[in-house]
């Protein structure tokens, strides 16, 4: 197969992370798309790319592009994914896949019909010790899964003057913390456990009901660097906080708390699985440690060391024990799996990465969570 070429739509926090990770696996990023043609040209110059596209249509029509990375605000994902698929391109889309389950259902169906390789960037799965946790759970080493719990806490939207496009439903969708960081956590625990979430009971809250929108656009997390004196007062309806109780397909129970206004937590994604034999816990701010919990022997901590890891998990660790691997490495490892799959050219083989079907399952969960929070009762979650 000829060397694969990628193009990246969206040049914010995620677009930059995608370009950097692609270069680390020797994928040729040939072009990019910004919010304006001038922005595309500036991005191409900043990243040393040969093409800055004037429109998404021009990007999708480029015969030299094999894979399109969608790193734009959520409201643009559907049209861009659809355009890329119809142009015969493989697609890696940032999460969440869309702003509704109707859109994600259509994209999942279209990708399958057109035989393209589709992926959603639930990159957190690709921390080496999340892979190890998955392999241990799937090998039965902690016994029957009984309880899955944790949280995903941030503080980048802590001040009323903190602003981001996700605050506005027109750009991010009806749900914010749930769609943004909640789907990361839910995707992780579904994948780790191999279970379905069959029902949810959700409590959501907008704890900062009025915020101050700056005059210009603000890149994700960049808001923490300064305040705009021209800011406009805006009422906020999307949630800062959620606690969601969970029921799983084997009868297991769970709960997760999400927040983007918890001072002191920068990107604190944590999961714990309690089994009938042992427990596992992992925290994203200390990603090279996996906690091993026991009733009948001392607890332990596995420090990321490929020589001590399951064979499958070992394939996602590039450095030896004691050499930390972190957030940027997860993009590299996910993209390695996707591009390796494309290069193998057997598209009927199982896909060792999150696909549009996984992204659609997350949108169905978002529907159920929103309905539960509005009705104050348990809501069943349909399977994909
Ligand atoms: C903001 O919550 C954000 O950038 C998410 O959108 C990313 O998916 C996560 O990896 C880091 O935080």
Tell me which residues have their CB closer than 6 angstroms to ligand 1: 13, 154, 180-181, 184, 220, 267
Q: Which atom of ligand 1 is nearest to the CA of 164?
A: 1
Chain length of the chain: 384
Instruction: Identify whether residues 145 and 293 lie together within a single domain.
Output: yes
Q: Which atom of ligand 1 is nearest to the CA of 181?
A: 2
Give the pLDDT score at 221. 78
Spatial distance between the Cα atoms of 54 and 7, rounded to a whole number of angstroms: 13
Q: What average pLDDT does range 6-29 have in this prediction?
A: 98
Instruction: Identify whether residues 132 and 111 lie together within a single domain.
Output: no
Residue pLDDT, tens place only, 82-109: 999 999 999 999 999 999 999 999 999 9
What CATH number should be reported for the domain holding residue 181? 3.30.360.10
Instruction: Identify whether residues 156 and 180 lie together within a single domain.
Output: yes
Instruction: Identify whether residues 89 and 143 lie together within a single domain.
Output: no
Q: Is residue 140 part of a domain?
A: yes
If pLDDT is split at 50, 70 and 90, which confidence band does 379 have?
Answer: very high
* pLDDT higher than threshold 80 for residue 1: no
Instruction: Tell me which residue range forms the domain holding 269.
Output: 128-320
Instruction: Identify whether residues 104 and 160 lie together within a single domain.
Output: no
- Closest protein CA for atom 11 of ligand 1: 267
Instruction: Identify whether residues 96 and 132 lie together within a single domain.
Output: no
If pLDDT is split at 50, 70 and 90, which confidence band does 231 have?
Answer: confident
Instruction: Identify whether residues 208 and 246 lie together within a single domain.
Output: yes
Residue pLDDT, tens place only, 313-358: 999 999 999 999 999 999 999 999 999 999 999 999 999 999 999 9
The predicted model scores a pTM of: 0.96
Instruction: Identify whether residues 133 and 264 lie together within a single domain.
Output: yes
Instruction: Identify whether residues 158 and 248 lie together within a single domain.
Output: yes
Instruction: Identify whether residues 96 and 138 lie together within a single domain.
Output: no
Going across the sheet that includes 197-205, the strands are: 300-303, 289-293, 279-283, 268-275, 145-153, 253-259, 241-248, 197-205, 379-380
% of the chain with per-residue pLDDT over 70 = 98
Spatial distance between the Cα atoms of 73 and 179, rounded to a whole number of angstroms: 12
- The percent helix, strand, coil of the chain (3-state, each to 5) is 40, 25, 40
* pLDDT higher than threshold 80 for residue 75: yes
What CATH number should be reported for the domain holding residue 68? 3.40.50.720
Q: Is residue 379 part of a domain?
A: no
Strand-pair category, 90-93 with 67-70:
parallel
Residue pLDDT, tens place only, 2-11: 899 999 999 9
Instruction: Identify whether residues 85 and 68 lie together within a single domain.
Output: yes
* pLDDT higher than threshold 80 for residue 216: no
Q: Which of 320, 340, 368 is the last residue of a domain?
A: 320
Q: Is residue 333 part of a domain?
A: no
- Indicate the top mutation candidate among 165, 181, 182 to test ligand 1's pocket, ranked by most ligand atoms within 8 A of CB: 181
Max alpha carbon distance in the chain (Å)?
A: 63
Q: Which atom of ligand 1 is nearest to the CA of 327?
A: 10
Residue pLDDT, tens place only, 151-202: 999 999 999 999 999 999 999 999 999 999 999 999 999 999 999 999 999 9
| Dist. CA 181 → ligand 1 center (Å) | 6
Spatial distance between the Cα atoms of 367 and 358, rounded to a whole number of angstroms: 14
* pLDDT higher than threshold 80 for residue 218: no
- Closest protein CA for atom 6 of ligand 1: 180
C-alpha closest to that of 128 among 284, 351, 349, 295:
284
Give the pLDDT score at 223. 67
Q: Among 115-129, 205-219, 262-276, 368-382, which is the least confidently predicted range? A: 205-219
The count of structural domains within the chain is: 2
| Dist. CA 250 → ligand 1 center (Å) | 30
Give the pLDDT score at 2. 81
Instruction: Identify whether residues 101 and 145 lie together within a single domain.
Output: no
């Amino acid at each position: 197969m000829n060397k694969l070429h990628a193009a990246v739509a969206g040049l914010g926090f995620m677009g930059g992370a995608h370009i950097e990770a692609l270069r680390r696996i020797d994928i040729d990023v040939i072009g990019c798309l910004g919010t304006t043609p001038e922005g595309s040209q500036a991005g191409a110059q900043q990243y040393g790319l040969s093409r800055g596209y004037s429109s998404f249509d021009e990007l999708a029509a480029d015969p030299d592009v094999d894979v399109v990375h969608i790193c734009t605000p959520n409201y643009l994902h559907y049209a861009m994914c659809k355009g890329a698929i119809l142009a015969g391109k493989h697609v890696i889309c940032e999460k969440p896949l869309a702003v509704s389950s109707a859109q994600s259902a259509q994209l999942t169906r279209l990708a399958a019909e057109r035989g393209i390789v589709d992926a959603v960037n639930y990159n957190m799965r690709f921390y080496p010790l999340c892979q190890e946790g998955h392999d241990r759970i799937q090998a039965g080493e902690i016994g029957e899964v009984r309880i899955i719990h944790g949280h995903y806490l941030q503080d980048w939207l802590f001040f009323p003057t903190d602003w981001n496009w996700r605050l506005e439903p027109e750009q991010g969708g009806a749900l914010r913390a749930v769609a943004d960081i909640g789907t990361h956590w839910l995707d992780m625990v579904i994948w780790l456990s191999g279970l379905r979430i069959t029902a949810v009971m959700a409590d959501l809250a907008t704890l900062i009901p009025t915020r101050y929108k700056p005059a210009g656009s603000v890149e994700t997390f960049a808001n923490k660097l300064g305040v705009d004196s021209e800011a406009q007062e805006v009422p906020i309806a999307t949630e800062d906080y959620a606690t969601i109780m969970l029921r799983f397909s084997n009868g297991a129970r769970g709960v997760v708390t999400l927040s983007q206004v918890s001072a002191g937590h920068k990107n604190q994604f944590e999961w714990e699985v309690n089994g009938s034999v042992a427990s596992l816990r992992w925290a994203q701010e200390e990603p090279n440690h996996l906690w091993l919990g026991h009733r009948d022997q001392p607890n332990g901590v596995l420090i990321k060391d490929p020589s001590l890891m399951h064979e499958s998990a070992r394939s996602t660790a590039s450095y030896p024990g004691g050499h930390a691997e972190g957030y940027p490495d997860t993009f590299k490892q996910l993209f390695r799996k996707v591009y390796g799959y494309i290069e193998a050219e057997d598209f009927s083989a199982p896909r060792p990465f999150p696909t549009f079907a996984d992204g659609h399952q997350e949108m169905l969960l978002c529907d159920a969570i929103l309905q539960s929070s509005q009705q104050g009762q348990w809501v069943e979650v349909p399977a994909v």
